[in-house]
């Protein structure tokens, strides 16, 4: 198996080796895929892989089973299963995969299974976007920044998720500029009627334009939200207005959602 040369260069740390030799994930997972649209070209830009139970159970029901003991196995299984599912569905667009930074000890060592899965299922690594999973508490920001930088070196695209909430703020953006910033959905909800949210989002768009970072608005549910965000200069969007996550399938965009 020919891995990316950067992924071959580092020797796993004792902690990472311990995880690799530990127990396999003792519960099953599957994925739903939600499209991310590009309004300018009226095309699907990417699909985000969202973890589910084997019969479509909620993400919460799966994430509640993640512990310190199985965190590494879960993170690795998610990467492999997301890629496998995307390849089986014939995804031609970018694939956005959430990762657990607290499960990554050394980026080069912990990325090996991702490269192996991409090769096994013939999914190009340049079409993979890595973003931090929603709700993951990140106490060590330098560690997260290092992961992002290493993943960029490997050839992956990167995204800061939930920008404007928790860890995902201006301090992180000042240290690392990803390909994409995803604005937290709490800032998107009812933005067409909220002056404070409008001012904040205009500010984010201006900052990201100056840093050459694309902005993605997630959680869009109404045409009024879409129209304000489009007028603000945001082209990448995601939310129920366009398509709900499709379990083990590729979602179809509602034709009404484009206009």
d(CA 228, CA 188): 10
d(CA 218, CA 186): 9
- Domain containing 141 — which CATH number? 3.20.20.450
Tokens of 254: 């509602």
| Residue 2 counted as domain residue | no
Per-residue pLDDT at 136? 60
| Residue 7 counted as domain residue | no
Q: Going from the first residue of the chain to its last (259 residues), give the mean pLDDT of each consecutive group of 10, the final group possibly shorter.
A: 51 50 79 97 97 96 92 93 97 95 81 93 97 69 89 94 78 92 94 97 96 97 98 97 96 92
Per-residue pLDDT at 39? 96
d(CA 168, CA 158): 13
| Residue 19 counted as domain residue | yes
What is the DSSP code string of 54-72? TTS--HHHHHTT--TTTHH
| Residue 259 counted as domain residue | no
| Residue 127 counted as domain residue | yes
Per-residue pLDDT at 169? 81
How many domains, the chain? 1
Model confidence pTM above 0.95: no
Segments in the chain forming alpha helices (H): 5-9, 14-20, 59-63, 71-89, 107-110, 112-120, 141-154, 170-175, 185-188, 195-210, 223-231
- The boundaries of the domain holding residue 223 are 15-252
DSSP H helix total and E strand total for the chain: 11, 9
Q: Which residue has tokens 């530990």? A: 22
């Amino acid at each position: 198996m020919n891995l990316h040369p950067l992924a071959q260069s580092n020797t796993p740390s004792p902690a990472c080796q311990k995880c690799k030799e530990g127990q396999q994930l003792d519960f099953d997972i599957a994925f739903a895929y939600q499209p991310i649209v590009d309004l300018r070209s009226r095309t699907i830009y990417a699909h985000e892989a969202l973890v589910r139970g084997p019969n479509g159970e909620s993400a919460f029901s799966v994430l509640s089973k993640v512990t310190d003991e199985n965190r590494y196995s879960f993170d690795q299984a998610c990467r492999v299963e997301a890629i496998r599912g995307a390849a089986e569905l014939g995804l031609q667009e970018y694939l956005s995969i959430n990762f657990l930074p607290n499960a990554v000890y050394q980026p080069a060592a912990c990325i090996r299974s991702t490269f192996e899965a991409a090769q096994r299922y013939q999914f190009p690594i340049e079409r993979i976007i890595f973003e931090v999973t929603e709700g993951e508490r990140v106490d060590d920001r330098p560690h997260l920044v290092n992961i992002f930088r290493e993943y960029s070196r490997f050839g992956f695209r990167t995204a800061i998720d939930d920008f404007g909430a928790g860890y995902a703020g201006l301090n992180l953006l000042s240290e690392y500029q990803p390909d994409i910033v995803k604005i937290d959905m709490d800032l998107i909800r009812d933005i067409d009627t909220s002056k404070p949210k409008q001012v904040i989002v205009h500010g984010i768009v201006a900052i990201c334009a100056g840093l050459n970072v694309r902005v993605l608005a997630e959680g869009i549910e109404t045409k009024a939200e879409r129209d304000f965000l489009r007028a603000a200069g945001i082209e990448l969007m995601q939310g129920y207005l366009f398509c709900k996550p499709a379990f083990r399938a590729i979602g179809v965009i509602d034709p009404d959602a484009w206009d």
